[in-house]
Amino acid sequence: MITINLLPRQLRKTDKKVIVPYKTYLILGFAGLVLLHLLLFGVATMKKIQVIALHGSINKITVSAKEAAKTKSEIKEFEARTNTLKTVLTRRVSFTELLSGLSDAVPKGLWIDRFSLSGHSVIIQGTVVSLTQNEMTIIGKFLQNLKNNKTFSTAFPKLELGSVQRRSIKAYDVVDYVLNGEMKK
């Protein structure tokens, strides 16, 4: 079908095509790129803030980890001490009987200066004075008395003479001794 438009040209309806100049496209593209850069800068800034916050958290955790390690080592130390006491108590040897056996084994002229129990070992330090110069015999007798004592030998089957030192106090010769022993495991 053919349509004829008889109206003069000024009155005719025509389809006007909007022509957008290339400058508009350039401005819109440039504005889009600026917005994209601003968006990426904002995202990078947020990530930087998150990284700084994570570093702060890591530092706090590191301090907490050091404190936890220190506490853990203290707990292990206390557990070792507790286990030592448990082993002594499970052997059913009372300290009263042990000290009584130690007292019974001491010969004349021998003094106990120190009795220490640590871990699975015992250390007995003391001094011997004898006017007849038989200090080593007295120490040997003391060691034999301890080994013959049932309570003491049960708790400490390995008991040996560690060291001996002779010294003088005024006109008297004295001998310092150390006995070392281990608990029965």
Residue 89 has pLDDT above 70, yes or no: no
| Each residue's pLDDT tens digit, 168-181 | 888 888 999 999 98
pLDDT of residue 128: 92
pLDDT of residue 91: 57
Name the range with the highest mean pLDDT among 17-31, 61-75, 106-120, 133-147. 61-75
Residue 92 has pLDDT above 60, yes or no: no
Contacts of 167 (CB under 8 A, 6+ apart): 173, 174, 175, 176
pLDDT of residue 88: 64
Q: If you average pLDDT over residues 147-157, what whole number do you get?
A: 84
Contacts of 158 (CB under 8 A, 6+ apart): 181, 182
Q: Rounded distance, CA 183 to CA 122, Å? A: 8
Residue 126 has pLDDT above 90, yes or no: yes
Q: If you average pLDDT over residues 81-91, what whole number do you get?
A: 73
pLDDT of residue 16: 67
pLDDT of residue 49: 95
pLDDT of residue 172: 81
pLDDT of residue 18: 65
| Each residue's pLDDT tens digit, 16-32 | 666 768 888 889 999 99
Alpha helices per DSSP H over 91-160: 95-105, 135-148, 150-155
Q: Please choose, from the candidates 114, 92, 104, the residue with its C-alpha nearest in 3D space to the C-alpha of residue 147.
A: 104
Q: Please, what is the average pLDDT of the chain?
A: 86
Residue pointed to by tokens 């904002």: 42
pTM assigned to the model? 0.50
Q: Which two tokens stand for residue 39?
A: 């968006």
Residue 35 has pLDDT above 60, yes or no: yes
| Each residue's pLDDT tens digit, 49-65 | 999 999 999 999 999 99
Alpha helices per DSSP H over 3-21: none
Residue bearing the bigger pLDDT, 48 or 85:
48
Q: Please choose, from the candidates 92, 145, 83, 143, the residue with its C-alpha nearest in 3D space to the C-alpha of residue 118.
A: 83
